[in-house]
Amino acid sequence: MKHRYFSFYYCSVLTLFILFLFSSCGSKRDIVYFQNADKITEGMYARENTEFNAIIMPNDNLFITVSAINPESVDVFNSALLTRGGTLSSTTLDVMGYLVDQKGNINFPLVGEIHLGGLTKRDAVIALQKAVSKFVTDPVVNIRFLNYKINILGEVNRPGVYTVTDERITIPQAIALAGDLTIYGDRRNVQLIRIENGEKRFYFIDLTTPDIFFSPKYFLLQNDILYIPPNSTRAGTSTYNANLPLLMSTISVTFTIIAFFINKK
């Protein structure tokens, strides 16, 4: 009886030890967003990002329409739109868009080559209106991005490429769009990959503090990549999971052998 009790005790200890290996202690500080928001000062509010204007960059696809009091006077600028007719699909719009070349230029009817790269959409509208006004009285120009997309990867519930229809999205909104981070996402080390002046730049963001609301990276630009790396718990369990069947079989056999020899004494 004593041996059986010792066998049960010994196996229980081993079981608890194995369960400990497969578990890890988590901290609330590693999970909760925007901690210590009550310590935000008036000076920080002064730096808050409230206005955003998308910047036109190379490889942007722009949908441009021109209107005026005399509709016939702008037909040449909207010829592709007029000939299509009917309902416009996203594929059709992509074909009709003006692709910004590597120098930041587009080739617009009658106007010819015009530089829009580096301008906000508002400034690009003004530039085009000025150029078109040489041919049309009081033109109204409208520009929309056809390829304003962001990429969300890593430890989120719905990773993927998302089209931003209103051309304005913040990092918290992007995370919500992807279904929030999983419990295994490293909230302290979110990575933002952005192309600036033709070069890739890497920025690191801590979502456990409210600092993101006052950061120049608060708004995402078209083609930004937001990557949420796994935390230490996920990294650890990935190793265990790969060898889990073999490990469980080994544990089972070991328990059986230990119990057999202890009960035999």
Closest CA to 117 of 137, 102, 139, 97: 102
Domain residue limits, the chain = 2-27+234-264, 31-52+148-230, 61-145
Positive or negative, the CA dihedral 103, 104, 106, 111 is: negative
CATH superfamily of 61-145: wza like domain (3.30.1950.10)
- The CA distance from 173 to 70, in Å, is 41
**pLDDT score of 53:** 83
Secondary structure class of 115 (helix, strand, coil): strand
Contact at 8 Å (CB) between 111 and 132? yes
Q: How far apart are CA 227 and CA 218, in angstroms?
A: 15
Q: What are phi and psi of 40, to 5 degrees?
A: -70, 135
pLDDT for 34: 86
Cα–Cα separations (whole angstroms), residue 127 to 69, 119, 165, 167, 178:
20, 9, 23, 20, 36
Place of tokens 């419990």: 183
Residue 160 to residue 252: CA distance in whole angstroms: 41
Write down the pLDDT at residue 125: 97
For residue 51, CA distances in Å to 8, 54, 218, 219 come to: 66, 10, 11, 9
| C-alpha–C-alpha distance, residues 210 and 221, integer Å | 20
For residues 67 and 241, the answer to whether their CB atoms sit within 8 Å is no
Residue 209: partners with Cβ closer than 8 Å, 6 or more residues away: 34, 35, 36
- Per-residue tens of pLDDT for the chain, all 265 residues: 545 544 545 555 555 555 555 444 556 677 788 888 777 776 666 566 667 888 999 999 999 999 999 989 999 998 766 554 545 555 555 567 899 999 999 999 999 999 999 999 999 999 999 999 999 999 999 999 998 999 999 999 999 999 998 888 999 999 999 999 999 999 999 999 998 888 899 999 999 999 889 888 999 999 999 999 998 876 656 555 555 556 666 666 666 666 656 666 5
Superfamily of domain 31-52+148-230: Outer membrane lipoprotein wza domain like (3.10.560.10)
The pLDDT assigned to 36 comes to 82
Tokens of 74: 């702008």
Instruction: Tell if the pTM clears 0.85, that is, is over it.
Output: no
Torsion of CA 91, 93, 94, 96, to 10 degrees: 130
pLDDT at 54: 86
